[in-house]
Amino acid sequence: MSAQAHGIAAYAGNIALLTDGEKIVERLLRAGLMARASDIHLDPQEDCLRVRLRIDGQLEDFLELPPSVQTTVTGRLKVLASLDIAEKRAPQDGAFSWSLPAALSAGHSAIDVRIATLPVRHGERVTLRLLEKDAKRLTLDELGMSADDRLAFDAVLKRPHGLVLLTGPTGSGKTTTLYATIGELLRADEKKNILTVEDPVEYDIPGVAQAEVDSADKVNFSKALRSLLRHDPDVIMIGEIRDADSLDVAVKASLTGHLVLSTLHANSAKSSVTRLTGMGLDPALVPATLRLAVAQRLARRLCPCCRKRGETGFEPVGCPDCDNRGYRGRIGLFSLYSPDGGLETSMEKDAADKVRGGVTSFAEALKCCPSPETLSSCLVSLSEKTS
Ligand SMILES: [Zn+2]
């Protein structure tokens, strides 16, 4: 789909005519917000500065700026984030807050921007991650868990202790689910003492003590983790279990009466067990520690205004409502595994239900599911049931 087809295309044309770094940066951020982009990428090429937006997980071409504005645009971004303007040969990272003038905000007003630069062949590559400050946090109900998965998940949250893990690749929505879970725990009991250790803290959660650590600083990460238990928590959220230190604290906390929430890089819910034992967890402790592992992927939601029925469920079409993408927003696909409860649910089954219901397309489900064969057979058995 070309950028011309999108509602923000007129914007792209205007930005390409500007020469002032400050104005270009302001318009790029505004365009990012309008397009609901999670990231803006600036890639210096030999003959242009290529600008792309990541929208619903897909990287899309937005516009090409002349190479002559590269230095002024990068310079302006570095000033905003208090980075070293003169340093062009080393990667840098930082952050800044940015507000739209109220008259233009249209529901959006302020964002936190995380910036990273990287020297490449034709200049400096810049990635901007956009975090809307006052965006409405999703609740567990809005993530898309099936009724059965949700019941199992709720049952685990009601138990006072144990480890609950969210697994999936980067960008699969694990953090959103963690935040939604904490929101749910607070709704159930606002007096709960909830502590988090995060790298970095993405959003403020009122009523929760959030410790921010820098992953480059291993000492502080360990220290923060170890001090957690001295603050008499009911619930602990550790941004990620990524080494023996964080695993050790998570296990100790879960065995001593705390509910521990965290994320782990594992391919499936069940394989998180292998991952944990690989990191040094005694296999005998798995059933006592790990209450539930949840694997998660994000599939794009079909635009309800233009989707049409096809051979395998519904297919995307494209209309002004979805900027001609055929999709708008995303939904979680889940599978659950519990070593002590004998519970194991299938992501393919969850995906098949959502394809069948027209929430997402077969093509999107295929991208998310580990086994395309299982997905197809789930769909076949669903259609046999209904016909
Ligand atoms: Zn549409």
pLDDT of residue 132: 80
Average pLDDT, the chain: 90
- The alpha carbon of 308 and the centre of ligand 1 are apart by a number of angstroms equal to 10
- Percent of the chain whose pLDDT exceeds 70: 94
> What tens digit of pLDDT does each residue of 177-195 get?
999 999 999 999 989 999 9
Q: How far is CA 142 from CA 78, 172, 177, 208, 350, in A?
A: 37, 15, 10, 21, 15
- The alpha carbon of 38 and the centre of ligand 1 are apart by a number of angstroms equal to 20
For 236-266, letters b (16+ CB in 10 Å) and e give: bbbbbbbeeebbbbbbebbeeebbbbbbbeb
- The alpha carbon of 319 and the centre of ligand 1 are apart by a number of angstroms equal to 4
Q: Name the maximum alpha-carbon separation found in the chain.
A: 68
- The alpha carbon of 43 and the centre of ligand 1 are apart by a number of angstroms equal to 30
Say how far apart CA 237 and CA 372 lie, in whole Å.
33
pLDDT of residue 135: 67
- The alpha carbon of 1 and the centre of ligand 1 are apart by a number of angstroms equal to 13
The pLDDT of residue 13 is above 90: no
pLDDT of residue 110: 82
Identity of residue 125: R
The pLDDT of residue 31 is above 80: yes
pLDDT of residue 200: 82
- The alpha carbon of 325 and the centre of ligand 1 are apart by a number of angstroms equal to 7
Contacts of 62 (CB under 8 A, 6+ apart): 3, 8, 12, 31, 35, 40, 51, 52, 53
- The alpha carbon of 302 and the centre of ligand 1 are apart by a number of angstroms equal to 8
One DSSP character per residue, 26-84 reads: HHHHHHHHHTTEEEEEEEE-SS-EEEEEEETTEEEEEEEE-GGGHHHHHHHHHHHTT--
- Percent of the chain whose pLDDT exceeds 90: 72
pLDDT of residue 133: 75
> What tens digit of pLDDT does each residue of 44-70 get?
999 999 999 999 999 999 999 999 999
The pLDDT of residue 6 is above 60: no
The pLDDT of residue 5 is above 60: no
The pLDDT of residue 116 is above 70: yes
Say how far apart CA 45 and CA 376 lie, in whole Å.
42
Angle at alpha carbon of residue 174, lines to 295 and 219, rounded to 5°: 115
pLDDT of residue 2: 42
Asked if residues 117 and 83 have their Cβ atoms less than 8 Å apart, the reply is yes
pLDDT of residue 46: 95
- The alpha carbon of 332 and the centre of ligand 1 are apart by a number of angstroms equal to 20
pLDDT of residue 107: 58
Say how far apart CA 242 and CA 251 lie, in whole Å.
13
- The alpha carbon of 328 and the centre of ligand 1 are apart by a number of angstroms equal to 7
- Taking residues 196-203, report their average pLDDT: 86
pLDDT of residue 149: 95
> What tens digit of pLDDT does each residue of 75-111 get?
999 999 999 999 999 999 999 999 876 555 555 568 8
The pLDDT of residue 134 is above 90: no
- Pairing status of strand 308-309 against strand 314-315: antiparallel
- The alpha carbon of 323 and the centre of ligand 1 are apart by a number of angstroms equal to 7
- The alpha carbon of 5 and the centre of ligand 1 are apart by a number of angstroms equal to 12
Residue 163 phi/psi, 5-degree rounding, is -105, 130
The candidate with the shortest Cα–Cα distance to 197, out of 238, 242, 168, is 238
- The alpha carbon of 384 and the centre of ligand 1 are apart by a number of angstroms equal to 29
pLDDT of residue 308: 96
pLDDT band at 219 (very low <50, low <70, confident <90, very high): low
Contacts of 50 (CB under 8 A, 6+ apart): 41, 42, 43, 44, 61, 64
The candidate with the shortest Cα–Cα distance to 30, out of 117, 98, 84, is 98
> The tokens 């770094």 sit on which residue?
21
- The alpha carbon of 320 and the centre of ligand 1 are apart by a number of angstroms equal to 6
The pLDDT of residue 120 is above 50: yes
The pLDDT of residue 203 is above 90: no
pLDDT of residue 68: 95
- Taking residues 293-305, report their average pLDDT: 97
- The alpha carbon of 321 and the centre of ligand 1 are apart by a number of angstroms equal to 5
- The alpha carbon of 32 and the centre of ligand 1 are apart by a number of angstroms equal to 20
> What tens digit of pLDDT does each residue of 233-286 get?
999 999 999 889 899 999 999 999 999 999 999 989 999 999 999 999 999 999
pLDDT of residue 386: 67
- The alpha carbon of 333 and the centre of ligand 1 are apart by a number of angstroms equal to 21
- What are the structure tokens assigned to 50, written together? 């290529």
- The alpha carbon of 361 and the centre of ligand 1 are apart by a number of angstroms equal to 13
3-class DSSP state for residue 196? strand
- The alpha carbon of 327 and the centre of ligand 1 are apart by a number of angstroms equal to 6
- The alpha carbon of 6 and the centre of ligand 1 are apart by a number of angstroms equal to 12
3-class DSSP state for residue 166? strand
- Taking residues 298-319, report their average pLDDT: 94
The pLDDT of residue 294 is above 60: yes
- The alpha carbon of 58 and the centre of ligand 1 are apart by a number of angstroms equal to 16
> The tokens 């959006």 sit on which residue?
108
- The alpha carbon of 101 and the centre of ligand 1 are apart by a number of angstroms equal to 29
